[in-house]
Chain A
Amino acid sequence: MADKSSKELEPGAMICEAGNAREYKTGDWRSKRPEVDKEKCTNCLFCWIYCPDNSIIVENEKMKGIKYSHCKGCGICANQCPAKAITMIEEGA
């Protein structure tokens, strides 16, 4: 999106594509990745309500996994999981 001329930009510095920050991937900030053991997961969704980055995938009220494109690896989900179903693993390990 960079290098647009002033004529190509919406006047007033308005951003008209709501939620387009999704295109900006923050997943590469991560040094540790959360991995979920679905055997242990009770789908309580605490990980989902406490995730700062909308990176818990929930479908039909079930925890389906991690959105690694955006997860920054903070570890809140692993820490808040009552079932200890999420483990933080060193990236590249």
Chain B
Amino acid sequence: MSFTLKELSHSEDRLTEGHRLCAGCSESIVARQVLMASKKPVVVANATGCFEVSTTIYPFTSWNVPWIHSAFENAPASIGGVEATYLALKRKGKITEDINFLAFGGDGATYDIGFQALSGAIERGHRFLYVCLNNEAYMNTGIQRSGATGRGAQTTTCPAGTCVPGKKEFPKDLTRIIIAHDLPYAAQASPHNWRDLMEKAEKGLECGGPAFMNVVTPCPRGWRFDPALTIEISRLAVETCIWPLYEFEKGKWSLTGESKRIAEGKKEKRPVMDWIKSQGRFGHLLKDKWSPVIEEIQANVDKKWEELIKLSQM
């Protein structure tokens, strides 16, 4: 189903203004797009993190839909429980509506502390879409490294020093780990390509089983860029192939959006250096001393990109 902004502008506001996310934060941009993609009523579970805290500072809530936050590592289990009651009550005829189930978590909640709960919930086959708001570090606690933090990025727990160039490791490729569960639907998306993101969210919500979306969610504060550039930065992640857009649907991998056009040679694949230069968290890498790190990052991006092209041709 293709979305148009004019039609979408009639949508109800499922997430209202008045939340306390930083100016220019992309989390609410992503969440609004996902929420609008559901034609059916939604119930949302949220992991602890910026998004959870900022949208529900008591006694205020930005949520116009039923919403639950329980802890950091358990959003998939929380929504699985909601779905379990839904199934029981539906069986008993106590509820008749069709409802979509949705969970949001940051990369800390998804890649690290909540990985077990996510894997378990997917294996059990709960019908829910999990959306990882991936801003590549623990931003809610003040920018600490996570399993999603990129090689060479500076955070408060992997600072750049005279001996160490920021984070030493490459990020975990969580989307591919999730795909290894052989679930009905998984995808990577970016808020700059709202139509691609929303189509994926809709597929995930309607696939009849567990679905996963990993969304690049730029953080002006943690990544050190002008808040006005949030959408440009998310576009750049895709154009440099740092964050390829693709989906895994019923066993088939496909590149989408700009990534598809890059693979087809219809669009330029920009160098990783453009990504590095766009954000203060990589500023230290511009010293001559660390130029090999940039080469390593480029080599890794190229390797993963080639793998992805092969997978999408299978």
Contacts and interface: CB of A to CB of B under 8 A. Distances in A.
Nearest to A73: B23
A72 B25 CA distance: 10
Contacts, number: 120
Contacts of A15: 56, 58-61
Given A26-B17, A45-B5, A58-B9, A74 B194 contact: no
B6 A45 contact: yes
B275 interface: no
A67 B228 contact: no
Main secondary structure of the interface of B (DSSP, over half): loop
B33 interface: yes
Nearest to B66: A18
Q: How large is the interface on B (under 10, 10 to 19, 20 to 34, 35 or more residues)?
A: 35 or more
A63 B228 CA distance: 19
Given A13-B58, A19-B64, A48 B5 contact: yes
B95 interface: no
B150 to A, nearest CB: 23
Contacts of B13: 19, 54
Nearest to B18: A21
A49 B18 contact: no
Contacts of B10: 61
Given A15-B56, A19-B16, A74 B61 contact: no
Contact of B230 (A4, A29, A55, A74): A74
Contacts of A50: 29, 191, 194, 230-231
A67 B17 contact: yes
Nearest to B27: A52
B19 interface: yes
A52 B60 contact: no
A75 to B, nearest CB: 3
Interface string B14-40: 011111111111111100110000000
B5 A74 contact: no
A50 B5 CA distance: 11
B140 interface: no
B164 interface: no
B254 interface: no
Interface string B224-247: 001111111000000000000000
A4 B6 CA distance: 43
B86 interface: no
A15 B120 CA distance: 30
B135 interface: no
A76 interface: yes
Given A19-B64, A61-B9, A74 B16 contact: no
B58 to A, nearest CB: 7
Interface string A38-49: 000000111011
Nearest to A72: B23
Contact of B16 (A25, A45, A54): A54
Interface string B60-71: 111111000000
Nearest to B31: A52
Interface of A: 1, 4, 13, 15, 17-26, 29-30, 44-46, 48-55, 58, 61, 67, 70, 72-76, 78-80, 88
10 contacts: A15-B61, A21-B19, A21-B55, A29-B23, A49-B194, A50-B231, A52-B21, A52-B25, A55-B17, A74-B23
Given A21-B55, A74-B23, 13 more contacts: A1-B59, A15-B59, A18-B61, A20-B59, A20-B61, A24-B20, A45-B6, A50-B231, A53-B17, A54-B17, A72-B24, A73-B23, A76-B231
The 8 closest A-B pairs by CB, nearest first: A75-B228, A21-B18, A74-B24, A72-B23, A45-B5, A54-B17, A74-B23, A70-B17
